[in-house]
Structure 1
Amino acid sequence: MTGRLAFVESPVQLLNVLEWAHTRGRATAPAAGPGPGEPPAPSPRCDPPPNPLPDLRIVVLSPNDPMSRGQLRRMAQLARDEGFDVHWQEARAGRGALVRTLRELAGPLRSAERVVVGDPFSRYVQLLLSLFGPRHVTVVDDGTATMEFAAQLAGGERLVRWHRKGDHGPRELVLAPVTSLARRRLAPGARRSVEIFTSLPVQAPPGAEVTENRYAWTRSRFGPPLLTGGADLVGTSLVETGVVDADHYLRVVGQLARAHGATRYFAHRRETPEKLHRVAVETGLQVVRPDLPLELIARRGPIGTTVVSFPSTVVHTLPLALEGTGVKVAVCEIAPEWLRATASPRAQGFLAGVVGTASGADRLTPRSGSGVDRLEFG
């Protein structure tokens, strides 16, 4: 019988499942101090520790995006090196993949005592949860969407990603019963517990538990990093999701690079090759396509002494992953005039909330127009 079953669809989700397992394993492990007359415990070994939750099976619902698949392959190997059972499921590999996936996962899902999910907005995860309702559910971070999930769960709202306008097209109408049932399966109740494992500042919905993710596994396994002394910029997919105008974005990236002496641009895995080509040509930055989540890349190093990002999860996670290294993280606010007409009405408020709650990052405020001020660290 499978005690715990995790579904992940992105590299960050898999990283945070490892963080959750590390935290849960430490919380449930008995104290192991020396007894009377025994010598002190030896220093920690350099080889990987045993899997803290041997009954956890991780299922990768593989996406089609090549960059995501590449990072997931590397994260899956990291998880296997830590002793975890990782199953790669080609969940989107053409006709018949959905039926085949449901058939293969029905048994493990039905017998799982706890299900860990990385994206409660995923139609795939919602379908799985609508068919089989676990007694215990844990939601781990897949970006700032966790903040929106917690708020929607607390308000009894339907689950809609913050950057979507929430249209009611034919596809949405067909999937509405699945989404509605999945939302109930993700809500705490008399026969179901819900845990949100997050590094983000969220209020626990009524009846749910919030467990803080401080990236303890990442810090214990990697680093501290070599610091380059310069600055690095972190890319975002706000253009690709239709939130920010591409020309405004490229202009501000160039201004940030000049203001802070940045030389590298860490691309988000969803950024298009065309946009990244423009970044390299128009700003002179070296575009780096990380092969692992940025928290691991930064912790392994080398990394700049200043990391500048637009509003995204990393302005919350990097200060935790880089704690004690001396690296400064800064976030550039999004000016209203940068938003596209296609942006959701909630976009500006949501992005402002991401910035305002990033207590570990300094803030860059846009000037009137499209520029940004140089950040002076206090």
Structure 2
Amino acid sequence: MVPPSASALAFVESPVQLLNVLEWAYARPADPTGPGPAGSGPAAAAPLLGGIPRQGRDAGAPAPHPASVPASASAPAADPLRIVVLPPTDPMSRGQLRRMAALARDEGHDVRWQEARGGRLAPLKALAALAGDVRAARTVVVGDPFSRYVQLLLTLVRAERLVVVDDGTATMEFVAQTARGERLVRWHRVGAGGLPGRVRELAYAPVSATARRRFTPSGTRTVELFSSMPVTVHGGTTLRVNDFAWTRARFGPPRLTRGTDLVGTSLVETGVVDPARYLDAVRALTAEHGATRYFAHRRESPEKLRALSVATGLEIVRPDLPLELIARRGPVGHTVVSFPSTVVHTLPYALSGTGVTVAVCDVDPAWLTGSASPRARGFLAGVTDSARDVRRLPAQTAGAAG
């Protein structure tokens, strides 16, 4: 059980979510119901400069979102944070999560590793083990509002404050869907999987509906979004900008190499982009920009990465931490090129003031598979168009396959 003084509880299922929880914990406002004085911590005495503390704003840092509060302007709270890791089954994600969990423990947080997958009874056992903690927490932080397991946990929440931290670009779709009052569905998801899938959806509908209500502020509960994404909140939700103050304070600045680094994506693995088109695009980007390294996404398959290495000569790097930390620690290329993904929004914050140029290459609609979600084209274009402080590369630059 959570000790009486531990009023904040976070649930994460990926390394990036855990990184963003650490960012939130570093700069969070004090819990008005929790113990300890507000204003203690490194950000407390920072004078504001255009809404961002002087000590947290590097030259060339992206401007804050309109009508939002910069996270690094907040005073850290004194009450402890327990982080519950609900790991996926793939080895790469689990390895990165263990590294991130070690960093979280170094920061003084209480980290609990809770298996909730891998067996028919695992979810029920995890739910029973966590129920008391969930009911007792006054602040609950979640990293993936689309997660069915997180939604199930939300049915038990009694907290006065609910915080959603970024789970990548999915945050943009989360905000849009909650604004429209729609059920929460990932942007790249196509269907429910026939009759059995529709039956499961129908049975799960009450849980999903309860989760949506939890994400709506009320007289007894505030809802906060902690994000680096270009979103506009609604209905009384508070937006706080994640400007990666913790990452910038703990790591770097990095040493820059003369080359260009490419950032991999899981668009092939999620069935959105055709593998052959993706390989041709990476080959063209490598030749045009003199790229030497390819930072693989944790979900990219070994077979795909081997094919990329053979076709391009790129050094394939499988990071053991989220790319924001890897890039900030360095060494990193003077230019970092990515397809539409989370990093085109987060790296300008993490690398602000370092001289690194972040570039984004559009995805040509011709690269999409026949099974891609109807929303895929518009969503990917939105990720690119809304990116700030990046250099935009047209899709034809990547040499779409004929």
8 A contact 2:333–2:356 mirrored in 1: yes
Same amino acid, percent of matched pairs: 64
The C-alpha deviation readout for 1:201-260, integer Å capped at 9, x for no partner, is 101121101000000000000000010111000000001111111100000000001100
- 1:106 corresponding residue in structure 2: 131
- 1:229 corresponding residue in structure 2: 258
Alignment of 1:6-85 (within 5 A): 6-24=10-28, 28-30=38-40, 53-85=78-110
Using the size of structure 2 for normalisation, the TM-score is 0.85
- 1:271 corresponding residue in structure 2: 300
Alignment of 1:106-185 (within 5 A): 106-167=131-192, 169-185=198-214
Q: After TM superposition, give the deviation of residue 318 of structure 1 in Å.
A: 0.4
Equivalent pairs, count = 355
- C-alpha distance in structure 1 between counterparts of 2:269 and 2:9, whole Å: 32
8 A contact 1:133–1:185 mirrored in 2: no
Alignment RMSD, CA only? Answer: 1.9
8 A contact 1:233–1:266 mirrored in 2: yes
> More displaced, 219-228 or 51-60?
51-60
**2:298 paired with 1:288:** no
Using the size of structure 1 for normalisation, the TM-score is 0.90
The C-alpha deviation readout for 1:289-325, integer Å capped at 9, x for no partner, is 0000000000000000000000000000001100000
The C-alpha deviation readout for 1:259-309, integer Å capped at 9, x for no partner, is 000011000001111111111111111110000000000000000000000
- 2:380 corresponding residue in structure 1: 351
Larger RCO of the pair (alpha carbons < 8 Å, separation 6+): 2
- C-alpha distance in structure 2 between counterparts of 1:210 and 1:84, whole Å: 24
- Cα separation, partners in 2 of 1:368 and 1:232, compared to 1, 3 Å: closer
Q: After TM superposition, give the deviation of residue 95 of structure 1 in Å.
A: 3.4
8 A contact 1:199–1:213 mirrored in 2: yes
Give, as a single letter, the amino acid of the residue that structure 1 aligns with 2:219: A
- C-alpha distance in structure 2 between counterparts of 1:319 and 1:32, whole Å: 25
- 1:96 corresponding residue in structure 2: 121
What SS does the aligned partner of 2:319 have? coil
Q: Which runs of 5+ in 1 are unaligned?
A: 34-50, 373-378
- C-alpha distance in structure 2 between counterparts of 1:199 and 1:251, whole Å: 30
Give, as a single letter, the amino acid of the residue that structure 2 aligns with 1:338: W
**2:270 paired with 1:241:** yes
Structure 1 stretches of at least 4 aligned residues deviating more than 3 Å after TM superposition: 25-28, 30-33, 51-54, 368-372
> More displaced, 313-322 or 99-108?
99-108
- C-alpha distance in structure 2 between counterparts of 1:236 and 1:247, whole Å: 14
Q: Which runs of 5+ in 2 are unaligned?
A: 32-37, 47-75
- C-alpha distance in structure 1 between counterparts of 2:326 and 2:121, whole Å: 36
- C-alpha distance in structure 2 between counterparts of 1:160 and 1:53, whole Å: 36
- Cα separation, partners in 2 of 1:194 and 1:284, compared to 1, 3 Å: same
What SS does the aligned partner of 2:316 have? strand
The C-alpha deviation readout for 1:332-370, integer Å capped at 9, x for no partner, is 001110001111111111111100110121101122994
What SS does the aligned partner of 1:223 have? coil
8 A contact 2:261–2:293 mirrored in 1: yes
Q: After TM superposition, give the deviation of residue 32 of structure 1 in Å.
A: 5.8
